[in-house]
Structure 1
Amino acid sequence: MALEKTHFSGSRLNYRTPCTSREGHLCNIFGDIHLWNEFFWPAGFQLKELSPGRLSLVKVRDVYDPLVKRVWKDASTLLHHLLTHHRCVSSVDLDIDLMEDHHELICDALCKSPNLRKLKLRLRRYPTSEAHSFAATLSHLNQLRDLELSRVDFDRLSLEALSNFLANTRSLTTLIMNDLNIESEDAVVVVQGLKRNATITTLSVNRSLVSPESSQCGMTFSDYIRWNKTLRTLSVTSRSLKSFTDLRPIIGALSYNNTLFELNLIGLLLDIQNKQLITDMLIQNRTLRSFRMVDSLGAGCPFHRHSNVKPEVRAVGNESCLLSLWLVALTENKTLKELHLNLSRIIKPADYSSLFKALARNTSLQKVTLQTMRKDDMTQICRALQDTGVPERFFVIKPHELDTVAELPGCNELISTSVACCSPLESGPLHSAVYLPPTCSHVKLLRLRMAAEALNSNLSSFIAQYIANTTTLRELDLIFDHNWPWPLHTLNQETECPQRTLVKALSNNKTIRRLSIEGHYFDETETQMLVGMVHSSRTLCQLSLFPCSHISATELLQKLSQNISSNYTLLDINVYRCWENCSDLFAVEEVARRNSSLVTRAADFVMGTRYKYCAVAAELLQCSPGLVAKVQELALIDENEAALRVKKSLKSFSELDDFMRLAGVVKCSVTCHRLDDGKKQLVNLNRDCWLHIRQYIKLGDIQD
């Protein structure tokens, strides 16, 4: 295939390059990922390094431009070469757009891939005949470990092929089918394959596989759970508010299963009888280590707002009688370590003390998350936590849209708050918000939403003072609402000054990790100030910028893309998509992709992998908060301990022999041949001299 020049840089890609990856060494393709992505990105995909030394083709956005079809042929051809010739490619996302018209090419590549470990499919409206042949390729994926079917339309013949694959695979460990909507009589085919499977440890399904106990599918799934000895994590999800889910097939089987460690029930509508079954199960179960139950009605989706909800479903709103059952379950269960619940509809403010006392008596629980708390309950929650003396074991999560400013001084457990002001006449809460947080060092997330015209010099000065001086704030959302039409061209100095004050404050802040600004209008000077802050920041990891006008967004994107490559801290950038400036947008997103790859490698080094390319990344990002956060995630430790681990890992190659060995210069230690003139050599330097020289030498300076 004769590929044209890349879409943005005009370079030519030598896509036929063979795979050169080997133990401890990256494939040569890693040096040209940005060129490969110039072909994949216009089609909505991006090559990413999600694990060190391994490439994944990831779906990053939907494509609505029909003209983009001209790039799908190039993208599918490149993907075919990657899958068939590069063992460093281990994960692929596929959707109907990429597969359409290139079905045979992609299926052939999947069958020939030497190292495909993960496959995610989004194939809604896929032609039946092509779905049959694609399902047939599953039997050739002998090394596949993770399979996710999202919005896939399979008929019975395709489901039978899937069932046969599940029954015979010797590699698959994770199966996700949350969006696989099939009828009960067809679902039983999939469950029969699961019953014969001996490798899956993590399974996620939707409610279509959990039918009433009297149906064949329900009974088959119940038998699968009852006798299975390999499954460790089970998740059941639903997005329907129209009917209840009957969990009897699962709950009844769990009394016989002694190998399942984690159970997640997400988005399910459960009647009181099913919830009683759950509490009874928790009292008796001795194997579960983690339990999560968050239903649709309690996850920010109040049922009274949905007209299509049946009356009997609305009737479950008052379930206070269940609280006593939960208290008994929490007291008697001695094996759970993690618990995630939404109890907002069954608990009253006066009951929080009893709840936390029951949790305190449970010595096995290490982490408890209570979701969707009511604003009026926060004071009682914080007081109950303090009275029981176990707040460090619990993480109370609530939507940060709740205005809890008044509760902040008395609730150290509140780490986030939100304030909204719809008009200049209602700015009182905003003033209260910017007065209070400086005295509340425990606040980590602040969300301010205001009418644009409410931002005057006085208010912006207080907000700016807080932003510039805070040493604890990690996340900041600034949202400006406008009453359209808004005369942007009539901006005077008074409306410009407040926003400029905010930008200056952001430039002085050294703690914010995530920043989101929406609905703003910055003039050219303010835009340049904001861009300069982003380019030079060594603490900002996540950035979202959505100006109120297309013109402002275009100017911002153009300036942001310039010199953005000098930033090695940003890991996630979301900006207004100006498609006429797609080359600028691509440049910005590629920098985030590059930085994320470096964090992945660096964290792997900190965790113990001693490859040179990982050490190079760790040395480059040693001050990156993103690296510390990644180590926290991998090691399950706090921020301070993670920072110490990073520092300790860098010291591991500070000495001469360690440095040269990791750089690949020597195998064991540095030795030098004796010189006739008797001059000093490298090994003759004392430790202090070497460490002084070491300040000017980086691992990345030494070529392989």
Structure 2
Amino acid sequence: MPPAPCRLHLGSPAKDPETGFGANRITFPLSCTDRRSDGGAGQTCQIFAELSFWNELLWFAKLELREVKPGRLNVMPLPTANVPPNKHQEVQRAVVLLHWLLAEHWCVDTVDADCHLLRFYPQLIFEALPLSPSLTAIKLSDHELEVGVAVDLFVALRKCPGLQVLECDDFELTGDATTLQKYVAELIENTTTLKTLRLTGIPKLLDGEAVVEALRGNSTISHLTVDAPSKGDNRTAFYESLAKSAALTELAVVGNSQETFSDVEALFEGLAENRTLRKLGLQQYRFNLVDATCFSNAVAANTALQEVAFSCCYWEAPAVSYPKAGVRQMLLEGAIVRWRRWWRVEPFVHAIANSASLRRLAFETNHFADEEMLRLLRAVKERASFRELFFEQVSRQSAGEFCDLLRETDTVDKVKVQSCWSDPACFVESFQRCKDFPSICQHDFHDLNSVHLRTICAALSSHDSVTVLYLNGDPTEDVVDAQSATCLGNYLASTVALKEIHMSLNTSEEAVSVIVWGLSKNRTLEKLGIKNWRADAADIRAICEWIERSTTLHQLVWRCERSSTAAVLLSELSQRLEHNYTLTAIRVREFVENEKYWQVVKNFLRRNSSLVERAAHFVLGSELKRSATGFRSCVLPPASSDKNAGTWICGRRGSAAKVRRERGASEEGFLAVVRRRQERARLPQEIRRCSPTRRPQFRRFGVRAQMAACFRRRRQSTERQRVDEERIPRGISVECSLH
């Protein structure tokens, strides 16, 4: 990476510079026409017309611009970009123009900075951030920084006028990290706009009192994710301040699982009186029975907390004794007497049964025995207000028993499991006992051989209910023989339930051809992952033809080690994606010799991703014309419905229903609405007041005739401003604004 550019370069970028790929150039300077942040008219910035060229230029800085909201751009990192080491001039030009873009354009919403920008161009970035008129979110991660650079960063962040989201993860600081505490505290104390703050993986940041006191006095931050202080003296005050906060609605705290005593009971005790916190997440904690008892009592007394999640947490047996005799030892003995043999599960049963607000409880894994799980499921069933018990994964041995317990307690609709690590024997046995897995979305298989693969495919074909599948073969042997490939191909061709499959299998070229035949018949896959395939050019072309036709696949991951395989794949996709509006993400290793294909493919992916975002916002009620045109242009890939479900505004079913309603509407009705709104906007004020839509009683006085005459007089002057009917969405009946 070259040294940072001097100020002279920063102030004088070349006019209409080349992008670095062929003879392509961007228009520079290019003024921003999006003034929504300034209260102006909602126009789309003209930079969108040249977005592909801008992304070619920014590729040298390992960055790209993506539309994540209608008319709004995010600066996002490209960590896998394989930039040649001799492109110093292109890298410098890209960073200088990024500075100008941040400082001059209202359409940039978020910056997700790559680590090398702060390391090699710190002052340039620090100057650009405070100048940005519309920047609302900054996300920084995996940085190796000197403490002085980190201090300058937080000083610059204090000057960002509209900053609402700040995320800083995994800073490897060189120097005395305690000097950073003062500047972080000043940012938290002085902000009036910050809503979401994440500070994790920054050593010793919360060990001092300054940051803790700043968090205690802040009244704007509602979503907070932080590391717990490593010093015990400061932890109690830290937990008490968080529990008593009147602003926080979502809180996640990352502890240290190596510590036996975390003092987290101070947080639980304060939660009993909290009336604002809705979600609580705890990661990497080692809980003892006293902690579990405090948690149970706090949740039972709290009337606002709706969701609690435990991730990477450990639960100590009650035999653990405290090094300090006294109150804590008495609390431990009292908890043992209270919970008795059910010490592992009864605190959660008590919390569910007595909480007036708790709706969801999440665990990383099922660490309960069958009898304990039965008690927990009964509590879930009996509590009508409790909606979901979630496990990230269950073990392979307990899957069948787990499904039996769900049926026995009739809690299938209240229990969800993300994944199950299975072996073929347990998987088939569970299928025979349960017929399906209504609550388990994903099944993972490891160290498979040919016999295992045939057994799994036979079970899947008999009971087609699995939606996500990971097939990982034994790396020491060829997994897929001709018979196994036929079984897998037949399953892929016939399944109507499978949405996602990842295959890491050692295959011959003959076996790949059979599997590809099955893929080409599939109509349901949304995500496809491939690894260790020995595919020839014909099979790769067949997969690309299927991708071109698919109206469901929106993500492809192909881990190929040979540049020739990647070259055939990218060359085919660059010619076939022009009329595919579904595929939005591809992960393939970037080789320098394939970069000309990569740029074409990336432009198609960005286009599709933009269309999905715009279509999703339209389905959710956006009246922006750009949202409507996005809906019109794409076939509404599954990612759009997934986006809706993530907003909690409407679920996948509601989104699909609205899409069907909008598709069924007539184009003429939509065109009439747009014309009427446009023409009314151009009428003289006295005629607008007498519009038939507002004053029906004036119809008999010839208002329609007056309006028609007005239209005829102004037809010529307004012709240039009419809506481009070729871009108006088809099948839309709702009213959309003209911008």
TM-score computed with the length of structure 1 as normaliser: 0.84
Return the offset for 1:588: 2.4
Whole-angstrom distance in 2 between the partners of 1:498 and 1:125: 45
Whole-angstrom distance in 2 between the partners of 1:441 and 1:182: 51
Between 198-207 and 100-109, the greater mean CA deviation after superposition: 100-109
Return the offset for 1:256: 3.0
The amino acid across from 1:253 in the alignment is G
Residues 1:620 and 2:639 aligned together: no
Q: Look up the SS of the partner of 2:398 in the other structure.
A: helix
Return the offset for 1:615: 0.7
Match of 2:132 in 1: 113
Q: Look up the SS of the partner of 1:203 in the other structure.
A: strand
Does the Cα contact within 8 Å between 1:200 and 1:230 map onto a contact in 2? yes
Q: Look up the SS of the partner of 1:375 in the other structure.
A: coil
2:392 to 349, 365, 371: 371
Residues 1:394 and 2:419 aligned together: no
Match of 2:221 in 1: 200
Provide Cα deviations, 1:120-149, integer angstroms capped at 9, x if missing partner. Answer: 234733334433333222321121101111
Between 242-251 and 18-27, the greater mean CA deviation after superposition: 242-251
Q: 1:479 to 1:227 in 2, by over 3 A?
A: closer
Does the Cα contact within 8 Å between 1:207 and 1:237 map onto a contact in 2? yes
Provide Cα deviations, 1:138-188, integer angstroms capped at 9, x if missing partner. Answer: 3211211011112333834432122112111110111000222216643x2
Residues 1:510 and 2:536 aligned together: no
2:251 to 230, 234, 243: 234
The amino acid across from 1:367 in the alignment is E
Does the Cα contact within 8 Å between 2:662 and 2:731 map onto a contact in 1? no
Residues 1:246 and 2:263 aligned together: yes
Q: Look up the SS of the partner of 1:481 in the other structure.
A: coil
Between 447-456 and 566-575, the greater mean CA deviation after superposition: 447-456
Match of 2:686 in 1: none
Return the offset for 1:277: 2.3
The amino acid across from 1:256 in the alignment is E
Return the offset for 1:448: 2.5
Return the offset for 1:569: 0.3
2:347 to 293, 317, 325: 325
Match of 1:416 in 2: 442
Whole-angstrom distance in 1 between the partners of 2:264 and 2:286: 10
Q: Look up the SS of the partner of 2:345 in the other structure.
A: helix
Q: 1:174 to 1:657 in 2, by over 3 A?
A: closer
The amino acid across from 1:134 in the alignment is L
Match of 2:494 in 1: 469
Q: 1:204 to 1:288 in 2, by over 3 A?
A: same
Q: Look up the SS of the partner of 2:350 in the other structure.
A: helix
Residues 1:553 and 2:566 aligned together: yes
Whole-angstrom distance in 2 between the partners of 1:256 and 1:567: 54
Whole-angstrom distance in 1 between the partners of 2:445 and 2:130: 54
Matches within 5 A, 1:224-303: 224-238=241-255, 241=258, 245-295=262-312
Matches within 5 A, 1:604-619: 604-619=617-632
Return the offset for 1:507: 1.1
Q: 1:653 to 1:632 in 2, by over 3 A?
A: farther
Whole-angstrom distance in 1 between the partners of 2:218 and 2:131: 24
Residues 1:601 and 2:618 aligned together: no
Does the Cα contact within 8 Å between 1:138 and 1:165 map onto a contact in 2? yes
Matches within 5 A, 1:176-195: 176-182=198-204, 185-186=207-208, 188-195=209-216
Q: 1:620 to 1:63 in 2, by over 3 A?
A: closer
Whole-angstrom distance in 1 between the partners of 2:468 and 2:460: 10
Residues 1:383 and 2:409 aligned together: no
Between 402-411 and 361-370, the greater mean CA deviation after superposition: 402-411
The amino acid across from 1:59 in the alignment is P
Provide Cα deviations, 1:189-210, integer angstroms capped at 9, x if missing partner. Answer: 21121122110101000123x7
Between 586-595 and 9-18, the greater mean CA deviation after superposition: 586-595
Q: Look up the SS of the partner of 2:538 in the other structure.
A: helix
The amino acid across from 1:52 in the alignment is P
1:103 to 98, 117, 122: 122
Aligned length: 646
Between 379-388 and 584-593, the greater mean CA deviation after superposition: 584-593
Whole-angstrom distance in 2 between the partners of 1:334 and 1:617: 43
Residues 1:130 and 2:155 aligned together: no
Between 435-444 and 506-515, the greater mean CA deviation after superposition: 435-444
Whole-angstrom distance in 1 between the partners of 2:607 and 2:730: 25
Does the Cα contact within 8 Å between 1:73 and 1:102 map onto a contact in 2? no
Does the Cα contact within 8 Å between 1:521 and 1:548 map onto a contact in 2? no
Q: Look up the SS of the partner of 1:231 in the other structure.
A: coil
Does the Cα contact within 8 Å between 2:19 and 2:53 map onto a contact in 1? yes
Structure 1: stretches of 5+ with no match in the other structure: 299-318, 483-494, 675-689
Q: Look up the SS of the partner of 2:145 in the other structure.
A: coil
Match of 1:86 in 2: 105
Whole-angstrom distance in 2 between the partners of 1:578 and 1:273: 55
Return the offset for 1:273: 2.9
Q: 1:590 to 1:339 in 2, by over 3 A?
A: farther
Return the offset for 1:89: 0.8
The amino acid across from 1:477 in the alignment is H
Whole-angstrom distance in 1 between the partners of 2:461 and 2:114: 48
Residues 1:48 and 2:69 aligned together: no
Between 9-18 and 64-73, the greater mean CA deviation after superposition: 64-73
Q: 1:383 to 1:31 in 2, by over 3 A?
A: same
Whole-angstrom distance in 1 between the partners of 2:350 and 2:280: 19
Whole-angstrom distance in 1 between the partners of 2:80 and 2:537: 31
Match of 1:29 in 2: 47
Does the Cα contact within 8 Å between 1:367 and 1:393 map onto a contact in 2? yes
Return the offset for 1:289: 0.8
Return the offset for 1:343: 5.6
Return the offset for 1:101: 4.2
Whole-angstrom distance in 1 between the partners of 2:391 and 2:61: 40
Return the offset for 1:117: 0.5
Q: 1:419 to 1:171 in 2, by over 3 A?
A: closer
Whole-angstrom distance in 1 between the partners of 2:351 and 2:708: 73
Whole-angstrom distance in 2 between the partners of 1:124 and 1:419: 35
Return the offset for 1:67: 4.5
Whole-angstrom distance in 2 between the partners of 1:550 and 1:657: 49
Whole-angstrom distance in 2 between the partners of 1:288 and 1:703: 42
| Percent pairwise identity | 23
2:546 to 533, 545, 551: 533
Residues 1:454 and 2:479 aligned together: yes
Q: Look up the SS of the partner of 1:58 in the other structure.
A: strand
Extract structure 1 runs of 4+ deviating beyond 6 A.
668-672, 693-699
Residues 1:340 and 2:362 aligned together: yes
Provide Cα deviations, 1:56-99, integer angstroms capped at 9, x if missing partner. Answer: 10123156765565444223212211111111111112244113
Residues 1:437 and 2:454 aligned together: no
The amino acid across from 2:154 in the alignment is A
Whole-angstrom distance in 2 between the partners of 1:600 and 1:338: 28
Residues 1:351 and 2:377 aligned together: no
Return the offset for 1:320: 6.5
Return the offset for 1:244: 5.3
Match of 1:519 in 2: 532
The amino acid across from 2:586 in the alignment is I
Does the Cα contact within 8 Å between 1:473 and 1:511 map onto a contact in 2? yes
Does the Cα contact within 8 Å between 2:448 and 2:471 map onto a contact in 1? no
The amino acid across from 1:470 in the alignment is T
Between 360-369 and 657-666, the greater mean CA deviation after superposition: 657-666
Q: 1:530 to 1:368 in 2, by over 3 A?
A: same
Does the Cα contact within 8 Å between 2:82 and 2:591 map onto a contact in 1? no
Does the Cα contact within 8 Å between 1:211 and 1:218 map onto a contact in 2? yes
Provide Cα deviations, 1:605-656, integer angstroms capped at 9, x if missing partner. Answer: 1111111111111122244222233233334555333211112244567343
